[in-house]
Structure 1
Amino acid sequence: MPSPPNAPSPAPAKVWILQPDIHHYRTPIFDALRERGHRDHAYDLTVLGGMNNGQAIGGGSRDYFVNVPRTELRPLGLAILYRWPTAVPTFRQHRPDALVMEANLRNLTAWKLLSLCRSTRVPVIGWSKVHSYSHSGRLMTALKKHFYSRFDRMICYGESSLKELTNLGYPPHRAVVANNTIDTRRIFSEGDRIARRADELLRERGFAGKKILLCVGRMDPEKRHADLLDAWPRLAALDPDLVLVLVSGGPLLDQVRARAASTDPDRILVTGRVPEGDDYAWIAASHACVYPGAVGLAINQSLAFGKPTIIADEIGADSEILVGQAHPDRQTGWRYPRGDLDALTAAVAAILRGGHEVDAVRHRARALMRDTVTLDNMVANIDAAIRAGLADARARRA
């Protein structure tokens, strides 16, 4: 029956996204989702997760962010487990109409929330890489099958995540791929301004006219900055104008900086953390970018700039957008076996030689990030999963 004239519109559904932490680089995604939900009054978004003194990790905040910190457990010194201590009480007090949460089977609270959502008929949508890099034994495979089967819908970080999820028996029609990315729109819209800042950085550092081999990434052991320092004598011999720049901070910063100073203080620069926007400027200034371990979202930035990008050959949703030289018709970068310094050196040498093959890879990578792996597409697919979950709930109530 149609609503009578002047009847109030139904209130938008309350949708929660529960993350381990709320990071500043996710804010544009959450803003865009919230705007989509408000556009037709379909839902109102709240984002919950760990924060730093009321701010997103990395800075900034929104009035729809709620601090729900995640803690770690290591029972008997075994594998790390997680929980959100305040998530269940918060759910009971302010029950949402749909919950999107990180689908991590090591999070004990996730199991509790799955049961709570089922008992309260709240649709729950998982958001996960599905640990597509892992090689599971029988027990872990059985746990994964049971865990993921309890989600009404799934948002996958990439095609490799979807493949593993469906191999675990999850119905493919209940899953969407939202390619993991960050907001790269400024790279395309503000290229001239970023290029000017890049020129300033090169002059400030005395690197004008040099060829920058750049690595942007937090200085943790899994990022393997030591591989670049170990390989530097071979890399330095490729071209006298080649210099190595390592950008970011982290627990190994002092160690990496000391090692760089003892290796080649004239041709290796360790910047530490840089001001907001200077990471983009360093990428714009680079001749090539290299990521020797734990590949993350920095490769999205490098590819968007059209910079020749080299990564350690790791399996998973974060790295799948970089197609290596084994597939020249689809190649968007260069891959090498992790830890193989000769192969790393060969990839850098191929880029330094240049030519139309390198140019083709650069243009293909930039087009991929401009047209396909975009924030708008990521948001649209997450939005579609949220709306499908809400529709599932309405159908169950009908």
Structure 2
Amino acid sequence: TILWDVPLLDGYDHEFVPNRAPNAHVKGFFGLVNPGLAPRLLAFRPDAIVVHGYAQATQHIAMLTGRLAGVPVLMRGESHLHAPRSAWKLAAKRLGAAYLRQVLAGAVAIGTLSRDYWLHYGLPPERVFLAPYAVDNDFFQSRAAAAREEAARWREELDVPADARVLGFAAKLSAVKGCGDLIEAFARARVPGSALVIVGDGPLRAELEAQARRFPDACIRFKGFVNQSQMPTAYAISDVFALPSRFEPWGLAINEAMNLARPVIVSDVVGCAPDLVRPDNGWVFPVGDVDALTAVVRDALSDGERLARMGRASRARIDGWGLPETAEGFVSAARAVAARRAGLGALLGGRGRS
């Protein structure tokens, strides 16, 4: 069990509704069953309800409560069309989309690929809103100077030369994150004076460490798990940050690295790529193509001055993709669907009196 070392609920009005699932978990439909949510929503009398996804029973309780009470329901999710899906899952998606089109007043997209997903499954453009998928930019930017100092100590601890150009990676060490591809590409690139620093832990750690040992001439270091308060340092130690995932709904690590003014490397199935990664601040390569990733790593680590310039572009771009923009997106969406509901109510009321 991971216990975060930063407060997650401070400043938010919130209430925990008991989970009545016999086997409580977040992976299956019946792992979250919170029937008490319905009366709490009815008592609260919101102008709109936002649900995050539809994979658990509780989300359907919220949606149907809103539908029956005449409260518009918005859905926010991470899905995009690049996810690998079997034929039966695609068929189920189409059936589910027909249901959602009837229940939802609108969808709140997290970015371009998310918007494309909702349009593909039949929601009209006027019912799809944008609330950018963001992190607390102030948290990371306010810790940048201290993180750079701590990163220098990490380099000493990991025996990484102070002047080495560091390719950084921070994520759970699982197959979907593509860390093995990154190790292979870094070793093949053979850029003098460079290092790869891997932050994180997970089921593939031993396997990845064994893979790294096959390249004794490459400077590849494993930092292990670090908690949230140390994540700025995980990005500050790098000169360029990579997320070569085999699939990634968004990739908030990219937002975080950009707040530390780092250029980024992503595969083309990382959801944030169309919104956050441009030629002036990063590279996008075809997922699973280690040859292409090798070329990108070699290019990225070859010019320190260019990396610094690209890092400044990253910081400038992420400044316009933060929590204020997210909040504004939610407020705009809620106002739009509430106004549409009020207008429809007035129209129906007028018909009833005529």
TM range (shorter): 0.7 to 0.9
Residues of 2 paired with 1:222 and 1:276: CA distance?
21
- Deviation per CA, 1:264-321, whole angstroms, max 9, x where unpaired? 49722111111443221131121211111144110111222232211112163x3333
Residues of 2 paired with 1:57 and 1:107: CA distance?
28
Corresponding residue of 1:181? 134
Residues of 2 paired with 1:256 and 1:65: CA distance?
41
Corresponding residue of 1:291? 243
Residues of 1 paired with 2:337 and 2:130: CA distance?
15
Residues of 2 paired with 1:175 and 1:70: CA distance?
33
Q: How does 1:283-362 map to 2 (within 5 A)?
A: 283-293=235-245, 294-295=247-248, 296-314=251-269, 316=271, 318-324=272-278, 328=279, 331-354=280-303, 358=307, 361-362=310-311
TM-score with structure 2 length normalisation? 0.80
Residue 75 of structure 2 aligns with an amino acid whose one-letter code is G
Unaligned runs of 5+ in 2: 347-354
Aligned residue for 1:129, secondary structure, equals: coil
Moved segments of 4+, more than 6 Å: 55-58, 70-73
Residues 186, 297 of structure 2: 8 Å contact kept:
no
TM-score with structure 1 length normalisation? 0.72
Residues 229, 263 of structure 1: 8 Å contact kept:
no
Aligned residue for 1:179, secondary structure, equals: coil
Q: How does 1:211-230 map to 2 (within 5 A)?
A: 211-230=165-184
Corresponding residue of 1:277? 229
Aligned residue for 1:88, secondary structure, equals: coil
Relative to its length, the structure with more helix (as a share) is 2
Corresponding residue of 2:29? 82
Aligned residue for 1:87, secondary structure, equals: coil
How far residue 360 of structure 1 moved from its aligned partner, in angstroms, is 5.0
Residues of 1 paired with 2:201 and 2:91: CA distance?
39
Residue 110 of structure 1 aligns with an amino acid whose one-letter code is Q
How far residue 156 of structure 1 moved from its aligned partner, in angstroms, is 0.7
Q: Say whether 1:377 aligns with 2:332.
A: no
Residues 322, 334 of structure 1: 8 Å contact kept:
no
- Deviation per CA, 1:301-346, whole angstroms, max 9, x where unpaired? 1222232211112163x3333435xxx4xx4310111222221111
Residue 196 of structure 2 aligns with an amino acid whose one-letter code is L
Residue 334 of structure 2 aligns with an amino acid whose one-letter code is I
How far residue 367 of structure 1 moved from its aligned partner, in angstroms, is 0.9
Aligned residue pairs: how many? 330
Corresponding residue of 1:102? 52
Corresponding residue of 1:40? none
Corresponding residue of 2:115? 162
Q: How does 1:1-398 map to 2 (within 5 A)?
A: 60-62=8-10, 64-66=14-16, 81-83=28-30, 85-93=32-40, 95=42, 96=44, 97=46, 98-104=48-54, 106-134=55-83, 137=90, 140-207=93-160, 208-235=162-189, 237-239=190-192, 241-261=193-213, 263-264=215-216, 267-293=219-245, 294-295=247-248, 296-314=251-269, 316=271, 318-324=272-278, 328=279, 331-354=280-303, 358=307, 361-370=310-319, 372-392=320-340, 394=342
How far residue 359 of structure 1 moved from its aligned partner, in angstroms, is 5.3
Residues 247, 274 of structure 1: 8 Å contact kept:
yes
- Deviation per CA, 1:213-236, whole angstroms, max 9, x where unpaired? 11011112211212123334313x
Unaligned runs of 5+ in 1: 1-51, 74-79
Aligned residue for 1:226, secondary structure, equals: helix
Q: Percent sequence identity over matched residues?
A: 23
Residues 72, 81 of structure 1: 8 Å contact kept:
no
Corresponding residue of 1:42? none
Q: Structure 2 vs 1, CA of residues 71 and 288 (structure 1 numbering), >3 Å: closer, same or farther?
A: farther
| RMSD, matched Cα | 3.3
Residues of 2 paired with 1:251 and 1:69: CA distance?
29
How far residue 378 of structure 1 moved from its aligned partner, in angstroms, is 1.0
How far residue 155 of structure 1 moved from its aligned partner, in angstroms, is 1.0
How far residue 356 of structure 1 moved from its aligned partner, in angstroms, is 7.0
Aligned residue for 1:140, secondary structure, equals: helix
- Deviation per CA, 1:52-94, whole angstroms, max 9, x where unpaired? 89x8797644462526669799xxxxxx752464323332355
Residue 204 of structure 2 aligns with an amino acid whose one-letter code is L
Residue 90 of structure 1 aligns with an amino acid whose one-letter code is L
Residues 176, 385 of structure 1: 8 Å contact kept:
yes
Residues 247, 279 of structure 1: 8 Å contact kept:
no
Residues of 1 paired with 2:240 and 2:22: CA distance?
37
Q: Structure 2 vs 1, CA of residues 385 and 56 (structure 1 numbering), >3 Å: closer, same or farther?
A: farther
Residues 70, 83 of structure 1: 8 Å contact kept:
no
Residue 333 of structure 1 aligns with an amino acid whose one-letter code is G
How far residue 149 of structure 1 moved from its aligned partner, in angstroms, is 4.0
Relative to its length, the structure with more strand (as a share) is 1
Residue 129 of structure 2 aligns with an amino acid whose one-letter code is V
